């Protein structure tokens, strides 16, 4: 925050008034990046298969981001707190984005959800997270194909 304040030519106190804490600023930056990924993921399929492909594509895109992987490796506890808990806006906004997609597919009768849509959106986001943060959680390599397969199994 000190370096950012200096580069902006303001005091740290002013910067904190503008953006809040370092964690809040990081969470907003992470959401901006997450939102960009959501907007670039092409939803070509329909129904459960399309949702599975979209989540697989999202996980693949996130996993291939050098900046994200570096952040996750340098600060794993902070990253997980900011990305996967109520301490941040990232997870709740991601769930809301996915809920919109699920609602569209359900309304068009292309998806018969196995759970209430808000619960399904939460479960699918957590499933995706499981295959993004695998290296931090279990030490295994992150794998977008496993995310796609798990979502497909749940929605078929």
* Cα distance between residue 69 and residue 48, in whole Å: 29
Q: What does pTM read for this prediction?
A: 0.85
**Cα within 13 Å of Cα(107), Cβ side:** 6
Q: Residue 83, class by beta-carbon neighbours within 10 Å (0-12 exposed, 13-18 middle, 19+ buried)?
A: buried
- Going by C-alpha positions, the residue among 96, 90, 99 that lies closest to residue 62 is 90
The structural domains of the chain, with segments of one domain joined by +, span: 22-155
Q: What is the pLDDT along the chain (156 residues), one digit of tens a residue?
A: 678 767 878 887 887 777 778 888 888 888 998 888 888 876 777 899 999 999 999 999 999 999 999 999 999 999 999 998 886 799 999 999 999 999 999 999 999 999 999 999 999 999 999 999 999 889 999 999 999 999 999 998
């Amino acid at each position: 925050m000190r370096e950012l304040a200096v580069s902006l030519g303001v005091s740290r106190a002013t910067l904190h008034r503008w953006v809040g804490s370092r964690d809040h600023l990081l969470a907003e930056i992470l959401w901006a990046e997450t939102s960009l990924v959501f907007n670039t993921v092409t939803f070509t399929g329909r129904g459960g298969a399309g949702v599975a492909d979209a989540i697989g594509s999202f996980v693949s895109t996130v996993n291939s981001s050098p900046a994200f992987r570096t952040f996750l490796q340098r600060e794993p506890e902070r990253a997980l707190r900011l990305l996967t808990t109520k301490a941040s806006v990232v997870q709740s906004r991601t769930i809301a984005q996915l809920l919109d997609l699920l609602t569209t597919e359900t309304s068009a009768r292309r998806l018969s959800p196995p759970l209430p849509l808000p619960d399904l959106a939460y479960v699918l986001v957590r499933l995706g997270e499981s295959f993004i943060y695998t290296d931090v959680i279990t030490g295994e390599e992150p794998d977008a194909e496993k995310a796609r397969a798990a979502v497909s199994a749940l929605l078929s």
